[in-house]
Each structure stands twice: as C-alpha cells, then as structure tokens.
C-alpha cells in the first residue's frame, strides 16, 4: 500500500482570455487568490493540499466593451468561472 502525501507549495495561475474583464471573486478561500491587472492572471497560492482534499475558487468576468461592440448580439455578457483542484490519495 502506497503512502499518500500532501501536495505542498501548490499554486495555480489562470490567464484571463482577451475580450474579458475581471469583475471580482465569487469564492476566494482565505483570500488565497488575487487578480493581477497588469498580467491579467488570476493567481492562487493554495499552499498545502492534503490527500482527498479540495481547493475551489471562482471569479466573475464580463465581456469587455470593445469585445461586446465587436460581437453584437451576444446573449450573455457576464460569466462566473469555477475551478476545483482535488488531491487524490494513492492506492
């Protein structure tokens, strides 16, 4: 039987696609996630994730004014992005 170990120093980076503007975080556990306006990256410093544990965060973004004008007739101009990271134990 393998020994399961925690994941350590875990980080995640999610670049915001062009045409979207960051609005805010819908879920940001312990404030571990930040959005960098310059790089347009949502960065989360998860830290340690125990076996079978989950870290989940979500943020809202909307279509930028320029992209909205270029894509007239778009039915939705605001989205919520949800992400979940799960550590699974070894068997």
The pLDDT tens digits for 2-56 are: 447 888 999 999 999 888 999 999 999 999 999 999 999 999 999 998 888 889 9
What pLDDT is attached to residue 57?
Answer: 93
Cα(60)–Cα(5) distance, rounded to whole angstroms?
Answer: 33
Tell which phi-psi region holds residue 73, choosing left (phi > 0), alpha (psi between -120 and 50) or beta. left
Greater pLDDT, 65 or 72: 65
Confidence of residue 71 (pLDDT cuts 50, 70, 90): low
Cα(84)–Cα(60) distance, rounded to whole angstroms?
Answer: 15
Read off the pTM.
Answer: 0.76
């Amino acid at each position: 039987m393998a020994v399961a170990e925690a994941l350590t120093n875990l980080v995640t980076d999610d670049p915001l696609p062009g045409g979207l503007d960051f609005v805010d975080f819908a879920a940001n556990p312990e404030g571990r996630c930040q959005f960098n306006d310059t790089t347009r990256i949502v960065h989360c410093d998860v830290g340690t994730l125990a076996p079978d544990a989950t870290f989940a965060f979500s943020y809202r973004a909307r279509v930028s004014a320029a992209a909205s004008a270029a894509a007239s007739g778009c039915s939705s101009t605001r989205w919520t992005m949800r992400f979940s990271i799960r550590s699974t134990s070894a068997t």
